[in-house]
Chain A
Amino acid sequence: MKKPVLEITGLQTHFFSDDEVVRAVDGVDIRIEEGQTLGLVGESGCGKSVTSLSVMGLLGDTGGKVVAGSVFFKGKDLLRLSDKEMRRLRGHEMSMIFQEPMTSLNPTLRIGEQIAEGIRLHLALDKKKARSRVLETLKAVGIPRAEGIMREYPYQLSGGMRQRVMIAMAMSCEPDLLIADEPTTALDVTIQAQILDLMRKLKEKKETAIMFITHDLGVVADMCDRVVVMYAGQVMEEADARELFANPGHPYTRGLLGSLPKLLSGQKRLGVIPGNVPVFKQVPSGCRFAGRCSYQTEKCLREVPPLLKAGDRHLARCWQTFGLAGVEAGTADKAGLQ
């Protein structure tokens, strides 16, 4: 087994307001090995972004606090580092790409200056060397006329180009871990294909470990080695990508796969997960998915299931996991498996 780059154990991040506590991340374990791409999947509000912000120490004044757990990055517990030590890591050994490149780039700085800022800070290069490094990274992410672009401002670039700049910036110091939070969600499909292609090439070349946060299962199948499915602040299932799509062990994962329209499948109806994601204030006492689950039993309502073994390197938080494997899947499930 390869060495883990990142090991999150029992992470709990809660948000505090006047009279209530929102347990946005409630006991999450994630392990990413060297060179691995791990997909973190789930619908809005499942806690995937909060998990990544907790890792990066970027909760800031969102009101969120990590109340328990540990986050080991290359042997160091990030939660115990000072702000200064975190700053030295961020953008250097670990970096992040966000969904909306326009709001995450500084609109008042030229592209070249923005990328050089991090390089000079972390690698202690002089202006000239930093400049040639910037040029190099811009070329590596496939930006045409890189020298011209260095003198331009973010607003002058298209969405796809901005995301390339973000990636160049994140990769400029050759990080060991890259967290990509919905990096292609705001982009058109053909541009998304370009960016995914670029990320795949960079990953192969640099062997960077990637935490790929997305809601798009198609992108996960395309990019990831291993997948973690989150729901209402907890990990519901974890498996290698191929295993997860071929043999989903949790009813939620099955439901998600079944609700996707699939090209050339001739579906007449989509599978449906009834109801809505539970509001954090009223998290059910047993399994968090029980209220929407068609395999629900008495036990599910009473006791929170632990992550149980559902196959080879495959865990699912479901009391029925073993039963499910044997059950002849319903039509909706079947559609999801094709």
Chain B
Amino acid sequence: MSDPAISATGTKKVTCREKGRFESDTVDYTASPLLDVRELKKHFPVRTKDLFRPARDFVRAVDGVSFFINPGETLALVGESGSGKSTTARLILRLLEPTAGEILFEGRSLGRLGPEMMRQARKQMQMIFQDPYASLNPRLTVEEIIAEPLQIFHVGSPVERSRKVSRLLDIVGLASRHAKRYPHEFSGGQRQRIGIARALALNPKLIIGDEPVSALDVSIQAQVLNLLKDLQEEFGLTYLFIAHDLSVVEFVSDRVAVMYLGIIVEMADKETLFRHPLHPYTQALLSAVPVPDPDCRRERIILPGDIPSPVNPPAGCRFHPRCQVCREVCRREAPVFREVKPGHYVACHIRGQGSEARGRKEEVGDGGQETVDGGGT
């Protein structure tokens, strides 16, 4: 018996294409990235004890993040808890309003869209959540859950919607007899498939997966990862994949951005990042991944301490208190996030200098923020 998802998708090649996935827009995406995030920031005020005094401290959850995603590609955002990856996802969907920065989707700035335009834009971007138990309404049937986005955007007649629902169920490897059941009747992996079907309902271009497989058992995780890859190939989807498990990230992604304390410390294509990581944090992360082979004896870099508080991030390079190659300059100055080789960006004073000229460093802005050479080149 093979993976049910493959056989299901295999026979369904035409379904969503014949409807004309890109009916509303006639943008040429081959030229520009689908999503272009520039200098994105989100600072949350920390409540003071005095009710009448405005907050003086801010949690710098996302503090100047720039990246782009080309159509049809998967960018993984990796980092430990508190690094700002989920906040970044929420900012892109404008579920949170950014403090600063710009998000361009197909060249249009999302920040300037009015509420109705933004609602329409969200049709193109859907999200898959981490916890398949918490993200499905327990009082709705599977059919109602998957049809809800269609209803909200007034897509099709009720009959067409129900036809679409059974098609989507088929695509994600569930049977149409499941449509009348409630979420609690399904296992975790099946629920995640329901969440994926819901995300696909509006034929989006961009899917943001916020730790979509981290709550699943390994054998189920493998099924869902394979399914996500199949769907991408079939529908030309673009993924922003948020995860903390590096082996999963290496499997799904084309490019990887590593986040630490609200900034991206390194970004490169998968091959480069996993084989030739430059940033000491990336190296430590990679060395900490447990490898399922007892004979594999690698040198492990054990980082001292915890992630510092994002309220008062360390001065200079944010990673310096835990860094093994830290020098004087790291305590003083925030490193510039710069391109050291084509497509390979890193924010470190020490690594990646090599043949590179150091002259490209720009003046460090106030509060130790970092300047980024426009991510979209």
Residues in chain A within 8 A of chain B (CB atoms): 43-44, 158-161, 188-194, 196-197, 215-222, 241-242, 245, 255-264, 267, 269-277, 294
User: Bound state CA distance, A255 and B285, in angstroms?
Assistant: 27
Instruction: Kindly state whether residue B235 has any CB partner on chain A within 8 Å.
Output: no
Instruction: Kindly state whether residue B359 has any CB partner on chain A within 8 Å.
Output: no
Q: Are B219 and A273 touching (Cβ within 8 A)?
A: yes
Instruction: Kindly state whether residue B55 has any CB partner on chain A within 8 Å.
Output: no
Q: Are B247 and A261 touching (Cβ within 8 A)?
A: yes
Contacts of A258 in B (CB 8 A): 222
User: Bound state CA distance, A273 and B216, in angstroms?
Assistant: 14
Instruction: Kindly state whether residue B226 has any CB partner on chain A within 8 Å.
Output: yes
For the complex formed, measure the closest distance between the CB of B220 and the CB atoms of chain A, giving whole angstroms: 7
Give the residues from 280 to 294 in chain B that come closer than 8 angstroms, CB to CB, to chain A: 284-294
For the complex formed, measure the closest distance between the CB of A295 and the CB atoms of chain B, giving whole angstroms: 12
Q: Are A218 and B291 touching (Cβ within 8 A)?
A: yes
Residues in chain B within 8 A of chain A (CB atoms): 1-4, 80-81, 187-190, 217-223, 225-226, 229, 244-248, 250-251, 274-275, 284-296, 300, 302-303, 306-307
Q: Are B292 and A276 touching (Cβ within 8 A)?
A: no
Q: Are A274 and B1 touching (Cβ within 8 A)?
A: yes
Given A190-B303, A270-B226, A261-B248 contact (CB < 8 Å) = yes
From the candidates B229, B292, B302, name the one contacting A194 in the complex (CB within 8 A).
Answer: B302
Contacts of B190 in A (CB 8 A): 276
Q: Are B302 and A193 touching (Cβ within 8 A)?
A: yes
Contacts of A269 in B (CB 8 A): 226, 229
18 of the cross-chain contacts (CB-CB < 8 Å) are: A43-B219, A43-B220, A44-B217, A188-B80, A189-B285, A189-B289, A190-B284, A190-B302, A194-B303, A217-B218, A218-B290, A220-B292, A260-B222, A261-B251, A263-B246, A263-B289, A273-B219, A277-B187
When C-beta atoms are compared, the residue in chain A nearest to B292 turns out to be A217
Q: Are A259 and B221 touching (Cβ within 8 A)?
A: yes
Q: Are B244 and A189 touching (Cβ within 8 A)?
A: yes
- Having A242-B294, A260-B292, one finds 13 other A-B pairs with CB under 8 Å, namely A188-B307, A189-B244, A193-B288, A196-B290, A215-B218, A219-B290, A221-B291, A245-B294, A256-B218, A258-B222, A259-B218, A264-B275, A269-B226
Contacts of A194 in B (CB 8 A): 302-303
From the candidates B219, B245, B296, B302, name the one contacting A255 in the complex (CB within 8 A).
Answer: B219
Q: Are A218 and B3 touching (Cβ within 8 A)?
A: no
- Residue picked from B190, B285, B293, most chain A C-beta under 10 Å: B293
Q: Are B291 and A262 touching (Cβ within 8 A)?
A: yes
When C-beta atoms are compared, the residue in chain B nearest to A259 turns out to be B222
User: Bound state CA distance, A44 and B1, in angstroms?
Assistant: 23
User: Bound state CA distance, A196 and B288, in angstroms?
Assistant: 10
Q: Are A245 and B303 touching (Cβ within 8 A)?
A: no
Q: Are A189 and B291 touching (Cβ within 8 A)?
A: no
- Residue picked from A215, A258, A263, A267, most chain B C-beta under 10 Å: A263
From the candidates B4, B284, B303, name the one contacting A274 in the complex (CB within 8 A).
Answer: B4
When C-beta atoms are compared, the residue in chain B nearest to A337 turns out to be B293
When C-beta atoms are compared, the residue in chain B nearest to A192 turns out to be B288
For the complex formed, measure the closest distance between the CB of B298 and the CB atoms of chain A, giving whole angstroms: 10
Contacts of A260 in B (CB 8 A): 218, 222, 247, 292
Contacts of B300 in A (CB 8 A): 193, 197
Contacts of A257 in B (CB 8 A): 292
For the complex formed, measure the closest distance between the CB of A235 and the CB atoms of chain B, giving whole angstroms: 18
Contacts of B217 in A (CB 8 A): 43-44, 215, 277
Q: Are A274 and B2 touching (Cβ within 8 A)?
A: yes
For the complex formed, measure the closest distance between the CB of A148 and the CB atoms of chain B, giving whole angstroms: 15
A-B pairs, 9 with minimum CB distance: A218-B290, A259-B222, A188-B80, A193-B288, A261-B251, A43-B217, A270-B222, A273-B219, A217-B292
Q: Are A272 and B286 touching (Cβ within 8 A)?
A: no
User: Bound state CA distance, A217 and B303, in angstroms?
Assistant: 22
When C-beta atoms are compared, the residue in chain B nearest to A242 turns out to be B294
User: Bound state CA distance, A257 and B291, in angstroms?
Assistant: 11
User: Bound state CA distance, A133 and B243, in angstroms?
Assistant: 40
Contacts of A241 in B (CB 8 A): 294
Q: Are A276 and B187 touching (Cβ within 8 A)?
A: yes
For the complex formed, measure the closest distance between the CB of A212 and the CB atoms of chain B, giving whole angstroms: 12
User: Bound state CA distance, A135 and B293, in angstroms?
Assistant: 37
Contacts of A215 in B (CB 8 A): 217-218
User: Bound state CA distance, A217 and B291, in angstroms?
Assistant: 8
For the complex formed, measure the closest distance between the CB of B125 and the CB atoms of chain A, giving whole angstroms: 26
Q: Are B292 and A245 touching (Cβ within 8 A)?
A: yes
For the complex formed, measure the closest distance between the CB of B226 and the CB atoms of chain A, giving whole angstroms: 6
When C-beta atoms are compared, the residue in chain A nearest to B290 turns out to be A218
Contacts of B303 in A (CB 8 A): 190, 193-194
For the complex formed, measure the closest distance between the CB of B363 and the CB atoms of chain A, giving whole angstroms: 32
Contacts of B226 in A (CB 8 A): 269-270, 272
Q: Are B295 and A259 touching (Cβ within 8 A)?
A: no
When C-beta atoms are compared, the residue in chain B nearest to A275 turns out to be B1
From the candidates B1, B274, B302, name the one contacting A263 in the complex (CB within 8 A).
Answer: B274
Contacts of A160 in B (CB 8 A): 306
When C-beta atoms are compared, the residue in chain A nearest to B225 turns out to be A270
From the candidates B1, B275, B294, name the one contacting A221 in the complex (CB within 8 A).
Answer: B294
When C-beta atoms are compared, the residue in chain A nearest to B291 turns out to be A218
Given A256-B218, A274-B3, A190-B80 contact (CB < 8 Å) = yes
When C-beta atoms are compared, the residue in chain B nearest to A193 turns out to be B288
Q: Are B290 and A216 touching (Cβ within 8 A)?
A: yes
Contacts of A273 in B (CB 8 A): 219, 222
When C-beta atoms are compared, the residue in chain B nearest to A291 turns out to be B1
User: Bound state CA distance, A215 and B218, in angstroms?
Assistant: 8
User: Bound state CA distance, A190 and B83, in angstroms?
Assistant: 13
Contacts of B284 in A (CB 8 A): 190
Contacts of B244 in A (CB 8 A): 188-189
User: Bound state CA distance, A271 and B246, in angstroms?
Assistant: 18
For the complex formed, measure the closest distance between the CB of B80 and the CB atoms of chain A, giving whole angstroms: 4
Contacts of A294 in B (CB 8 A): 1
Contacts of A219 in B (CB 8 A): 290
For the complex formed, measure the closest distance between the CB of B218 and the CB atoms of chain A, giving whole angstroms: 5
